[in-house]
Structure 1
C-alpha cells in the first residue's frame, strides 16, 4: 500500500513528533506532583535518559508511547501498511533498546517503571499512585 503523503510531507510530519514533554508525560508529571512526589526530568547521565527519575527512591520512569514502543495488545499499537519492513525493523530496534536501557539501569541499582501512554490517558492519578506504591 502506498503512503497517502509525499515523501517530503511524511518527513515533515515525522519531524514534528516530540521526544520529550509529550502530553502523556506532562499529564503524569502533574499527577505525580499532585500526590507530593518530587522528581527530576530527562536524566542524561542515565542509560536511556529516563523521562522522570525519583533519585531519593532510585526509581526511573519511562513514559512510552504505545505505537513507538509496541505496547502488547493495545489499540494504539498499529503498524503502518506503507513501508512495512522499515517499520518492523524500527519497532524491533526500539524494543531492543528499551530492554538494554532497563537492564543497564537495574544493573546500576535503579528500579525501572514503564508508564504506557494509554494507561496515562485513561487515568493519570492511577499511574501516579502505582509509582508512589513503589517507594
Structure 2
C-alpha cells in the first residue's frame, strides 16, 4: 500500500517547480545582459510567450529544461518509471507545442534559438553561452527585414 504522506510530499515538490525565472534562464539572461544585449521577457504578443526576445535581432531564446521538454539522448531526460504512458503523452504534447510555436514565430520572421539545460552545466557552460552569443550577433544567421 502506498504511503499517503508520499503523495502529499510529491505534490508539494511538483508545486515548487517554476516555469519562469529558473536558474538556467537567469544564467542566460545575466550572460546576455553582460554582453550588452537588451531583451524583453515573456512577451505576450509572441507565440508561446518565449523566455527571451531580442527584438533588434528578431530572435527568441528558449531556455528549455531537458526533463520537461523531452531532450532526446540526454541524461537529464528519463521517463519516470511510474505512469509512463501519461508522462510519454505529456512530453510529446510539450514537444508538439514547442514545434508549433517555433513555426508560428518563423512565419513572423523570428528565429528561435534553443538552449538546453544540460548545455549550461559547469563543464560546458562557457562554450555554450559563447556559441549562443555568436548565433545572435552573426547577422548572416538572422533574418533581416
* Unaligned 5+ runs, structure 1: none
Normalized against structure 1, the TM-score is what? Answer: 0.90
Match of 2:89, SS? Answer: helix
* Mapped contact 1:25–1:63 kept (Cα < 8 A): yes
CA separation in 2, counterparts of 1:16 and 1:101?
26
CA separation in 1, counterparts of 2:125 and 2:76?
17
- 1:79 corresponds in structure 2 to 79
Match of 2:94, SS? Answer: helix
Which moved further from structure 2: 36-45 or 14-23?
36-45
Match of 1:113, SS? Answer: strand
CA separation in 2, counterparts of 1:121 and 1:3?
35
Deviation per CA, 1:38-75, whole angstroms, max 9, x where unpaired? 11111121001110110000100100000011111111
- 1:126 corresponds in structure 2 to 127
Give the number of equivalent residue pairs: 134
- 2:11 corresponds in structure 1 to 11
- 1:26 corresponds in structure 2 to 26
* Mapped contact 1:31–1:128 kept (Cα < 8 A): yes
Q: Give the Å deviation of 1:121.
A: 2.4
Match of 1:69, SS? Answer: coil
* Greater RCO, CA 8 A, separation 6+: 1
Q: Give the Å deviation of 1:126.
A: 2.8
* Unaligned 5+ runs, structure 2: 138-145
Change (3 A) 1:105 1:119: same
Instruction: Please identify runs of 4+ aligned residues in structure 1 that moved more than 6 A.
Output: 2-5
- 1:106 corresponds in structure 2 to 106
Match of 2:78, SS? Answer: coil
Q: Output aligned runs, 1:51-70, within 5 Å.
A: 51-70=51-70
Normalized against structure 2, the TM-score is what? Answer: 0.84
